[in-house]
């Protein structure tokens, strides 16, 4: 069983900040004295490679020259020579003492004193690496280039048809298989020292290949393509329950294959048939698999690591969190990319399973036992009775924000000027008078809702219909947040430092800061705005003061009240608490 990941150097910490005891009584609102990072600062790039040593130590690597090492207790970053490199492959010796990385046109070797370039495919880009055994390491890429390390030295095998090679596998140096673009399936002929193209049963690009040691070989690629070769026979197509692009295939022994791809797809099977593996959360595009049975990991976008030892929940992620709900009677919940969810349980933020088919942007509700979440692809989820259920949406596009006070009526807004209303029954569309994207919805009551969006759009709902509101917002700016302590004090924020204030009669534009702003929220007579570059600003009554907090990326959502203070979420899986 793996321990929860801790990464102090990158602030990838889950549960290092304790909070107030959760209870049904919200208590009086308390002003925020300071902000602390409860979780976040994670790698928000893409992991493209993973490798596990016989000792169980695992490495994950990807964009921006990022290399992380997991020793069973915590993930630790390792300095890489070039932070602009994209690391596309990892392979190493069985004891983990030496590791190789394919990055750019170079092969790097990891030693006790760091990473060093040891070989080059000059003029080509390396797309992966693979180790047959401790004496045979391969790196491969564009222009059909394949580098081979044996007897302690690197050399180059004959090129393959000037094509991109994405995967290499074999049982010996004389029985290699290479796969690549344009239905590329190739076998090494040790007699002629040349590669021979094999017939493919399907037109597709192939990204990975592996075998189970019994003569059965699987290659995977675009559009849910899986092909199989038994022994020295020809390749046949295998039907699988997905049309997603598949980027990695891994075998842990005879009759056991695991495939990973876009949309968090994991398929497991014996090579003849495959069934989906349930991914409860963090359904990001996956790019590589590594590890022994029971402890396999799949890595991918937003620094995601799905861990088999915790039922394929994410043990590491830097995915964006867009929405936060902090009810008075229970655990706060943050939602974001790929249906990701984090709940604050016992003072610790932990990943939770939400059956969302797409990214969630907003979660709201009157309590922890009644919630409404909306997101991409017309996603509407309602939580009640201890479980989530999907509600039918009349609009299949992006749903961005929602309002619900726990009664029979609720409102959702989204792309193309969409507004959905529910009044006791199902959801239906109502006109808004605009086709511009609506990005945030807020209001003190059903008959006084506000929506803001693209091109300076501000709308107000009186309980029956939406009407457009004229403001001094620049016509080319996106408005992203609205909130007010009273009907006579409404604030609107947006890109380019746009900040508007309504006193019940007139609008004024407050010249605050130049940063893009994403949300606004008040508590105990205080007003805060959040946005670009980890920015949190507090209104003094005359100006906005920046709050000291060192963090990269945007803050995207804010909520709070009562003794809970404020909770802020954003890029890199960041969660910040204000108390």
Q: To 5 degrees, how large is the angle CA 144–CA 147–CA 151?
A: 155
Q: Is the pLDDT of residue 477 over 70?
A: yes
Tens-place pLDDT, residues 121-160: 999 999 999 999 999 999 999 999 999 999 999 999 999 9
> 69 CB contacts (<8 Å, ≥6 apart)?
57, 58, 59, 75, 76, 77, 78
pLDDT for res 266: 98
pLDDT of residue 512: 65
Q: Write down the pLDDT at residue 388.
A: 96
Cα-based angle 82, 86, 90 (whole degrees, multiple of 5): 100
Fold of 8-41+318-578: Methylamine Dehydrogenase; Chain H (2.130.10)
Q: Give the up-direction half-sphere exposure of residue 373: CA atoms within 13 A in the CB hemisphere.
A: 33
Q: How confident is the model at residue 14 (pLDDT cuts 50, 70, 90)?
A: very low
**Mean pLDDT to the nearest integer, 413-440:** 96
Of 74 and 143, more confident: 143
Confidence of residue 264 (pLDDT cuts 50, 70, 90): very high
Residues 6+ apart with CB under 8 A from 482: 440, 441, 442, 450, 451, 452, 458, 490, 491, 492, 493, 520
Q: What is the pLDDT of residues 483-532, one digit of tens each?
A: 999 999 999 999 999 999 999 999 999 976 778 999 999 999 999 999 99
**160-256+264-277 architecture in CATH?**
7 Propeller (2.130)
**Location of structure tokens 């004295």:** 33
Looking at residue 22, what is its pLDDT? 37
d(CA 119, CA 156): 10
* Global confidence as pTM: 0.88
**Can you give the pLDDT at residue 27?**
60
The structural domains of the chain, with segments of one domain joined by +, span 8-41+318-578, 160-256+264-277
Query: What average pLDDT does this structure show over 207-231?
Result: 97
Q: Residues 268, 270, 274, CA angle at the centre, nearest 5°?
A: 45
Whole-number Å distance between alpha carbons of 179 and 164:
8
Q: What is the pLDDT of residue 16?
A: 29
Short-list 263, 267, 260, 227, CA closest to 246? 260
What is the predicted pLDDT for the residue at 8? 28
- Burial class from Cβ neighbours inside 10 Å (0-12, 13-18, 19+) for residue 243 reads middle
Do the first three CATH levels of 8-41+318-578 and 160-256+264-277 match, i.e. the same topology?
yes
Instruction: Quote the tokens at residue 99.
Output: 């590791």
pLDDT of residue 432: 98
Which tens digit of pLDDT belongs to each residue from 277-334? 999 988 899 999 999 999 999 999 999 999 999 999 999 999 999 999 999 888 999 9
């Amino acid at each position: 069983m793996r321990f929860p990941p801790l990464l102090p150097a990158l602030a990838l910490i889950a549960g290092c900040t304790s909070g107030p005891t959760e209870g049904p009584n919200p208590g009086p609102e308390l002003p925020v004295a300071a902000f602390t990072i409860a979780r976040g600062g994670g790698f928000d790039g893409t992991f493209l490679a993973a490798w596990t040593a016989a000792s169980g130590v695992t490495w994950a690597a990807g964009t921006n020259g990022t290399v992380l090492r997991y020793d069973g207790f915590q993930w630790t970053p390792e300095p890489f020579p070039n932070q602009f490199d994209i690391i596309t492959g990892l392979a190493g010796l069985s004891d983990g003492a030496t590791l190789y990385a394919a990055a750019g046109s170079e092969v790097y070797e990891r030693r006790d004193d760091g990473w060093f370039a040891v070989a080059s495919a000059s003029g080509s880009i390396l797309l992966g690496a693979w180790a047959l055994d401790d004496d045979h390491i391969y790196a491969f890429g564009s222009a059909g280039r394949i580098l081979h390390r044996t007897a302690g030295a690197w050399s180059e095998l004959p090129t393959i048809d000037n094509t991109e090679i994405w995967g290499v596998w074999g049982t010996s140096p004389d029985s290699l298989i290479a796969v690549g673009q344009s239905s590329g399936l190739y076998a090494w002929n040790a007699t002629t020292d040349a590669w021979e193209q094999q017939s493919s049963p399907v037109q597709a690009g192939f990204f990975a290949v592996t075998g189970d040691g019994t003569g059965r070989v699987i290659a995977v690629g675009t559009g849910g393509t899986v092909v199989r070769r038994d022994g020295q026979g020809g390749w046949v197509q295998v039907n699988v329950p997905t049309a997603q692009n598949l980027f990695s295939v891994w075998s842990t022994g005879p009759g056991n294959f695991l495939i990973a791809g876009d949309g968090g797809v994991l398929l497991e099977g014996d090579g003849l048939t495959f069934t989906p593996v349930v991914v409860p959360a963090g359904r990001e595009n996956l790019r590589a698999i590594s590890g022994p049975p029971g402890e396999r990991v799949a890595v991918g976008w937003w620094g995601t690591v799905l861990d088999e030892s915790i039922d394929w929940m994410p043990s590491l992620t830097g995915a964006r969190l867009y929405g936060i709900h902090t009810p008075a009677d229970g655990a706060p919940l943050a939602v974001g990319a790929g249906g990701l969810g984090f709940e604050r349980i016992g003072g610790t933020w932990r990943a939770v399973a939400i059956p969302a088919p797409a990214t969630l942007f907003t979660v709201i509700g009157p309590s922890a036992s009644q919630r409404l979440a909306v997101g991409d692809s017309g996603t509407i989820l309602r939580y009640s009775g201890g479980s989530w259920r999907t509600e039918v949406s009349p609009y299949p596009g992006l749903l961005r924000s929602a309002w619900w006070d726990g009664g029979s009526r609720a409102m959702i807004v989204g792309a193309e000027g969409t507004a959905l209303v529910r009044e006791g029954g199902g959801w239906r569309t109502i006109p808004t008078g605009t086709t511009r994207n609506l990005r945030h919805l807020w209001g003190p009551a059903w008959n006084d809702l506000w929506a803001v969006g693209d091109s300076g759009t501000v709308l107000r709902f009186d309980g029956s219909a939406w009407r457009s509101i004229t403001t001094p917002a620049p016509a080319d700016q996106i408005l992203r947040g609205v909130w007010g302590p009273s009907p006579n004090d409404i604030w609107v924020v947006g890109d380019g430092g746009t900040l508007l204030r309504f006193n019940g009669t007139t609008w004024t534009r407050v010249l605050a800061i130049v940063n893009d702003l994403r949300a606004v929220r008040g508590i105990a007579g205080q007003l805060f705005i959040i946005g670009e570059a980890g920015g949190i600003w507090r209104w003094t009554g005359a100006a906005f003061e920046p709050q000291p907090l060192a963090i990269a990326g945007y803050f995207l959502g804010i909520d709070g009240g009562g003794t809970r203070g404020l909770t802020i979420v954003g890029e890199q899986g960041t969660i910040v608490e204000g108390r």
